[in-house]
Amino acid sequence: MSFLLGVAIFVVALLVSIMLHEAGHFATAKMFGMKATQFFVGFGRTVWSRQRGETEYGVKAIPAGGFVKIVGMTDLEDVDPADEPRSFRKQPGWQRIIVLAAGSFMHFALAFVLLFIVAGGIGLESAGSGTSVGTVESCVPANLHLGCVKGDPASPASKAGVRVGDKIVSIAGIRVNTWSQMGEAIRDQQAGHVVPVVVDRHGHLVTLHTALARLTGHGSYLGVSPPLVFQRAGPVGAVSSAGHQFWQMLSGSASVVASLPKAIPDLFAKNRANTPGGQVTSVVGAGDVTGQVLEARIGWQPKVDLVLLIIASLNIFVGAFNLLPLLPLDGGHLAVVIYERARAWLARLLGRPDPGPVDYRRLVPVSVGVFALLVGIGLLLIMADLVNPVHILQ
């Protein structure tokens, strides 16, 4: 039930994100006096609709997107002469740019609000003081960001019998009083060598022995982490934290797109989680991960934090991806408008007549090709997430 609840939460969040995206286009278009005749969530057969004024609002059968119909988006569209003054194509360039960018802006705004709530409302994780063990990791993860996945070897701490609540006293004879000192003591040891680990367990010193593992990019690894406390930031701190996490997620989105060519061959590999294929996912995979988070045996605060971070990350990725200068994405239409205005400015500078709008008929093959490519990649990711999902063990 927890897993299904997580998936349901993700689906609802996805639909809300779509509605906000389209609301951005719709509200700005109406603000500038453009005529918008339809506002729909979904594609395919109409399930429900209602006419209010000049706009039909509705829901379609396939909840995989949405659209706002603004009159005269391109010169390929036939427009009633009475509506031509209110058509999209007749408005100033700066107004068209705002309307086109408003969808991605809504994604970014929603993500920022969610990140603010995480920092200021739920609280951010911070390590407790001392050397008490808050978590004994079950494995040696091949990818520290993904955590434990099936097939990863057991961690040295779990093999040795370290328990939650133990206080680490010394490692390999080196006394430690802080997690920083403990980290240094662990890194000073050679992976594979058995070392004594002394813990204070309910007031009694217990000596355990284990061979430290090697964690790629981090050196020797024991597999323990401190108890976490959640600290809420003030308004200024929450804004700062949200801005920092927003930038990190935006950079991560760029990395995901850049790594996509390398990831595709690994989507159906047995060890997908430990390859670039484990770094990319479809909405199906994201919904699955959200379900896993709700099902995990962790406190409510980390659950809420993780779910909100997943939704924020999704919105940042979609908002940024939608601004790529590729038709039929909003970024492609933005590029056309900017090109038209730059060309008109240059013509005016040279004393020549305005060359007018771009001939969209020449762009149709490119638009169809890009659309087919995006659909193909999307279906491939969905198939991979269905038959070869990434399972994160908690």
Three-state secondary-structure class, residue 347:
helix
Give the Cα separation of 276 and 289 in Å (integer). 17
Q: Are 310 and 281 in contact (CB under 8 A)?
A: no
Helix or strand holding residue 205 (H, E): strand 204-211
Options 22, 54, 77, 295, the catalytic residue: 22
Q: Is 349 exposed, middle or buried (0-12, 13-18, 19+ CB in 10 A)?
A: exposed
Give the Cα separation of 248 and 111 in Å (integer). 12
Residues 6+ apart with CB under 8 A from 55: 36, 37, 38, 39
List the Cα angle 284/287/290 in 5-degree steps: 155
Question: Is 22 annotated as catalytic?
Answer: yes
Give the Cα separation of 341 and 258 in Å (integer). 30
Q: Which residues are marked as active site?
A: 22
